[in-house]
Amino acid sequence: MSTLGNSTNIFWHECPVGNSERQKLLNQKGCVVWITGLSGSGKSTLACSLSRELHSRGKLSYVLDGDNLRHGLNKGLGFSAEDRTENIRRVGEVAKLFADAGLICIASLISPYRKDRDACRAMLTDANFIEVFMNMPLSLCELRDPKGLYKLARAGKIKGFTGIDDPYEPPLNCEIEIQEKDGVCPSPSTMAGQVVSYLEDKGFLHQ
């Protein structure tokens, strides 16, 4: 009598309908648009605006929002370095499945550690992982503070808050960087348009 251990005695099962068939059906190419940045930098705003723009063009996308996922898939995880890594790993695996299904998966998470984002990139072919860096200054994010979290962190009521007492490691070679221009933040539609233009240029919006 033997028992199954973790990830042993298991085999990958291929199905006759593959990625290319699904992409042909949808007339688009699956990919992951990974939006990273500080809390309050506009990640969720961009994700929703991008999803809306793609929908208006007849393109199928799905948003994986970091906060939303902590209500279910990642409900039991905290904010230690180890839990943050596992949080990102799980989202990366789910995003990979959506991309394989032929969808444009929009993942919106702070994802502060470079090695964790790079690990998600390594799950796909490099061209299918599009890292979008919301490069907004901490002062602006703290001024916005839509959830009141910076105020709590400054008061010492939240520990390990990214940008305050836990580091954010910016991307070194992201595909898209969004930032202020002459002190003015781009509008949601402008940000979405920048990403859509990239997807169009790289051939993701047609098969």
Kind of pairing, strands 129-135 and 31-37?
Answer: parallel
Sign of the torsion angle spanned by Cα atoms 155, 161, 167, 171: negative
Q: Which of 80, 111, 139, 197 is catalytic?
A: 111
Please confirm, yes or no, whether 20 is among the known catalytic residues. Answer: no
Q: What is the DSSP string of 161-207?
A: -BTTTB-----SS-SEEEE-BTTBPPPHHHHHHHHHHHHHHTTTT--
Alpha helical stretches, state H, the chain: 19-26, 43-56, 66-69, 81-100, 114-121, 138-144, 149-154, 188-201
**Residues designated as active site:** 111
